[in-house]
Amino acid sequence: MREGGRIVDVPGSSLDLINVSGLDENTIAGDRELMRVARELSSWVDRTRSRPSTSMFDRTTFTPSDNPYDQMRSARAALHDDIVGGVAEITEAFAFQGLRWQSEDHDQSDLFNQINRDLNLDEVVRKMWRDVYAYSQYYAGSMWGWRDYRVRGVTSSGAPRRKTYRVWCPIEIRTLDPTKIIPLSPNPFGPDLLGWMADESEWTRWDAVKDGTYDDPLMTQFFTEKYVPSMADRASFATMGVNPDRIFVLNPSSVWRFTLTRPDYERFPDLRMRSIFKLLDLKQQLIDADRAMLVGAANYILLLRKGTDAQPGKQDEVDALRRNYNFLARLPVIISDHRLEVDIVAPKTDFVLQQGRYDLIDNRILMRLLGTLSPGAKGQRNETNVTISKAVARNMENRRHMIRRDLERNFARAVYFHPRNVDQFEEGDEPSLVFVPRNISLDLDQAFIQAVLSLREHQEISRESILEHFGFDQATEAQRRETEEEMYDDIFETIIPFGGGQPGVNQPGQPGQKPATPGQNGRDGGGRPAGSAAGNDNGDGGDE
């Protein structure tokens, strides 16, 4: 910097780069051109220091320590990757089209489905799926309250149903940030005790809540007490960067967690996403390398040379070219003699953005996320798309099944057996959760579809099961069938399956029409296979 008309060297400044030439500092201060270069270098150094490093040693994002919270933050960052984020969205779309509760008691099924509607449980399970995908676990918190419901539908006589329920049930279910919750001392023979890492405002507010001078229903319902850690806990928390003196114990009846397969003596499950961190690191380094090449090609160096070996340029010619460079650079044409050469110095981009290099890494990431051991028919065991699709679907069904069991235990059974809901439900009819589609299918296996249709034809499975397999809801389809029959069948004259005719034409049961002959086309008059038992309203076989 300038002080008293002379240049004062600042360690680490751009002048350090200029002074290596051996020039005197006052000489530099007196040359306007050198001072302009110094200012440009100083600005460049400042910009370079302010930008995050992208060197091969900068691998903090996807090379976390053994701290589980650092790994969770890296897993959250991995969701921004195109392959990781795309698989998360696709698997979520295939796993969940809808869900509902079913029970032997129709009224109880309708009650829980109304609770499902008010909670928007479809959205909740998608959030849970995303947390399981990223963190191999999720934490859920529920707020409870009284709700009044009236059973929907009509009676056999056509009158509206009038049965009502007043139940104590969840009115909100939210997923919680796993980086704010710490599992406390694991106890294989006790409940899963969880702690909330409170900030300073929450910690001071708790005393006011306990004294009754401040009303906070959330803290009252979710927190039970301040946690007093043992010496072992303090040492363990210190390695994870957790403050042991600011932890609340979470209410087990309001907050619970679900994990993928985890030993009971471990605090955290194995983070499945961790296995692709090295691949994501390689992908990031590949992107940075290609970016450096492209930036270098865009910020090229323009080299002007005056003269040849036979006719070298004179010093006044070189000085004139340097003085006029800024003006000449703005013109599309430079006029000179044959001794002037203009070259563009830039790195070659022949091997930049090669698809094969990215495909190699992306395929391995995709294989791990989908749970396959080979990307396709090129595998060592000659896997096909059908076998790989079945493996991926089975993996997704397994995770979805465990989420289903968790919701049945912490939601449905918690409502069903809650002390405040005594005498509301009949014993033994607690509802179960059903996902639509019931089976996740990623391929079109004609043989399997024909087998399912054959089972339905022989009345081995219900109509509801086959509709769920294809992603349809029986109640919705029944309502649509009634609407079609009343309003549109006479217009479209749709052919009735197995009837061999049109609506109202040669159909059994129509006035003035001849009943269908039993056994015709291998079926009885009701469109069922000949010799089969009569079906009930649910599509199941009747008593023999």
The answer to whether 27 and 21 have CB atoms below 8 angstroms apart is no
How high is the pLDDT of residue 85?
A: 94
Sequence-ordered list of residues with C-beta below 8 angstroms from that of 329, at least 6 positions apart, any chain: 302
451 falls within a domain: yes
Asked if residue 231 has pLDDT above 70, the reply is: yes
How high is the pLDDT of residue 340?
A: 75
How high is the pLDDT of residue 316?
A: 80
Q: Which two tokens stand for residue 457?
A: 């034809």
110 falls within a domain: no
**Phi, psi angle pair for 56, to nearest 5°:** -70, -15
Where b means 16+ CB within 10 Å and e means fewer, 107-119 reads bbbbbbbbbbeeb
Of 221, 251, 281, the position where a domain reaches its end is 251
Sequence-ordered list of residues with C-beta below 8 angstroms from that of 83, at least 6 positions apart, any chain: 362, 365, 366, 369
> What is the C-alpha to C-alpha distance for residues 419 and 449, in angstroms, rounded to an integer?
46
User: Domain range for residue 221?
Assistant: 194-251
322 falls within a domain: no
Asked if the bond preceding 347 is cis, omega within 30° of 0, the reply is no
43 falls within a domain: yes
> What is the C-alpha to C-alpha distance for residues 301 and 304, in angstroms, rounded to an integer?
10
pLDDT digits (tens, 9 = 90+) for 440-464: 877 766 777 788 888 888 888 888 8
Cα–Cα distance list, 541 to 197, 336, 362, 458, 460 (Å): 57, 98, 51, 9, 8
39 falls within a domain: yes
Q: Specify the pTM.
A: 0.69
Q: Which two tokens stand for residue 473?
A: 């809801």
How high is the pLDDT of residue 506?
A: 45
Q: Which residue did the predictor score with more confidence, 57 or 363?
A: 363
**Beta pairing, strands 6-7 & 2-3:** antiparallel
Place of tokens 């109880």: 108
470 falls within a domain: yes
The number of distinct structural domains making up the chain is 3
Q: How confident is the model at residue 59 (pLDDT cuts 50, 70, 90)?
A: low
Sequence-ordered list of residues with C-beta below 8 angstroms from that of 80, at least 6 positions apart, any chain: none
Q: How confident is the model at residue 542 (pLDDT cuts 50, 70, 90)?
A: very low
Q: At residue 88, what is the residue type?
A: A
Of 33, 50, 67, the position where a domain reaches its end is 50
Q: Which residue did the predictor score with more confidence, 59 or 230?
A: 230
Of 251, 273, 297, the position where a domain reaches its end is 251
515 falls within a domain: yes
Helices (H) and strands (E) in the chain, counts: 20, 13
Q: Which residue did the predictor score with more confidence, 129 or 453?
A: 129
Of the spans 301-310, 315-324, 427-436, which averages the highest pLDDT?
427-436
Q: Which of 198-207, 391-400, 442-451, 478-487 has the lowest mean pLDDT?
A: 442-451
Query: First vs last Cα of the chain: how many Å apart?
Result: 103
389 falls within a domain: no
Among 125, 249, 114, 224, CA closest to 171: 114
Q: Which of 9-18, 164-173, 215-224, 416-425 has the lowest mean pLDDT?
A: 9-18
pLDDT digits (tens, 9 = 90+) for 267-282: 999 999 999 999 999 9
Among 149, 131, 148, CA closest to 139: 131
Among 168, 223, 165, CA closest to 194: 223
